[in-house]
């Protein structure tokens, strides 16, 4: 069969399947201007950017929001990350050097803590008062050593040939004295100032030895919290030993 041409009743000879422009297409307002400027079809004025409308794709750098979003607020409030220290890193101590010195200093700390334990208890008032009869003395000056027999004031016990420290002891003298207990290693006949020096100086030496332990073991060469923990342990070790000796001297 041949092709059948359907003509429009109003326009003979035209094909209704062909789209045509409206008859009044050329009568409306011109939406272009000089230099192909885009104009608003309703007002005929040049089209400008209005908030909320976009005439083309916008990238992130062209957006200007009235209120900052969460990302920009977080970037503003987040403090700068601290930089890692750039100083020279020192090598740790060799165990062959640090461990022997650690043992030596720990023994010295124990000795000084033992020396100051009984004077500390006497200074704080933990003592039994009584009388000591000096039996003999040797040496002179700082090297003078005396011994005697201590008798408690209430008569509960008597200790023979106990070392006498402090004061001006001489053979045959009977002096007021104090002892921590019947198992104490000395009878003290001096004043309170002498007791202060006898326990404060050993305690200061214990703390000094703790600092020396931190130095010889390389605790100060660590970084951050590791250094603080190592130095704290170096100081706490001798103090724990001193506390144990104080408990034993009670």
Answer with the residue of higher pLDDT: 135 or 66: 135
Work out the mean pLDDT of the chain and round it to a whole number: 75
Query: Per-residue pLDDT tens for 225-249?
Result: 888 888 888 889 899 999 999 998 8
In 3D space, the residue among 185, 181, 189, 180 whose CA is nearest the CA of residue 132 turns out to be 189
Report the percentage of the chain scoring pLDDT > 70: 62
What does the pLDDT read at residue 149? 93
Relative to beta strand 187-188, strand 158-165 is: parallel
Query: Per-residue pLDDT tens for 144-184?
Result: 889 999 999 888 889 999 999 887 888 888 999 999 988 88
Task: Answer whether 206's CB lies under 8 Å from 113's CB.
Answer: yes
DSSP annotation of 67 reads: S
Task: Answer whether 110's CB lies under 8 Å from 103's CB.
Answer: no
Average pLDDT over residues 187-195: 85
CA dist 68 → 26, 52, 73, 149, 197 (Å)? 47, 16, 6, 90, 69
Helices (H) and strands (E) in the chain, counts: 4, 5
The answer for residues whose C-beta is within 8 angstroms of residue 77's C-beta and 6 or more apart is none
Q: Please tell me the least confidently modeled range out of 85-94, 119-128, 175-184, 233-242.
A: 85-94
In 3D space, the residue among 142, 121, 127 whose CA is nearest the CA of residue 199 turns out to be 121
Q: What share of the chain is helix, strand, coil (3-state, %, to 5)?
A: 40, 15, 45
Q: Extract the tokens encoding 65.
A: 């929001």
CA dist 92 → 115, 222, 233 (Å)? 34, 8, 17
Task: Answer whether 166's CB lies under 8 Å from 187's CB.
Answer: no
Q: Extract the tokens encoding 42.
A: 């309703």
* Residue 203, pLDDT above cutoff 90: yes
Report the percentage of the chain scoring pLDDT > 90: 29
What does the pLDDT read at residue 207? 93
Q: Any bridge partners for residue 188, and if so which?
A: 165, 178
């Amino acid at each position: 069969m041949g092709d059948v041409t359907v003509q429009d009743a109003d326009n003979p000879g035209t094909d209704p399947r062909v789209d045509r422009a409206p008859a009044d297409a050329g009568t409306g307002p011109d939406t272009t201007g000089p230099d192909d400027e885009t104009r608003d079809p309703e007002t005929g004025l040049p089209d400008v950017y209005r908030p909320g409308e976009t005439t083309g794709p916008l990238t992130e750098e062209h957006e200007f929001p009235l209120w900052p979003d969460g990302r920009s607020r977080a970037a503003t409030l987040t403090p700068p990350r601290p930089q890692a220290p750039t100083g020279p890193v020192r090598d740790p101590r060799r165990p062959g050097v640090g461990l022997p010195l650690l043992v030596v200093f720990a023994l010295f700390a124990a000795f000084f803590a033992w020396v100051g334990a009984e004077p500390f208890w006497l200074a704080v008032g933990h003592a039994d008062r009584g009388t000591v009869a000096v039996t003999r003395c040797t040496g002179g000056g700082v090297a003078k050593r005396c011994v005697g027999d201590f008798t408690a004031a209430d008569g509960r016990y008597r200790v023979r040939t106990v070392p006498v420290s402090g004061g001006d002891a001489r053979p045959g003298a009977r002096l007021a004295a104090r002892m921590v207990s019947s198992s104490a290693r000395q009878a003290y006949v001096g004043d309170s100032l002498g007791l202060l020096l006898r326990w404060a100086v050993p305690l200061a030496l214990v703390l000094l030895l703790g600092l020396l332990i931190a130095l010889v073991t390389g605790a100060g060469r660590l970084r951050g919290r590791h250094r603080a923990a190592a130095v704290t342990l170096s100081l706490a070790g001798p103090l724990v030993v001193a506390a144990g000796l104080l408990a034993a001297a009670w």
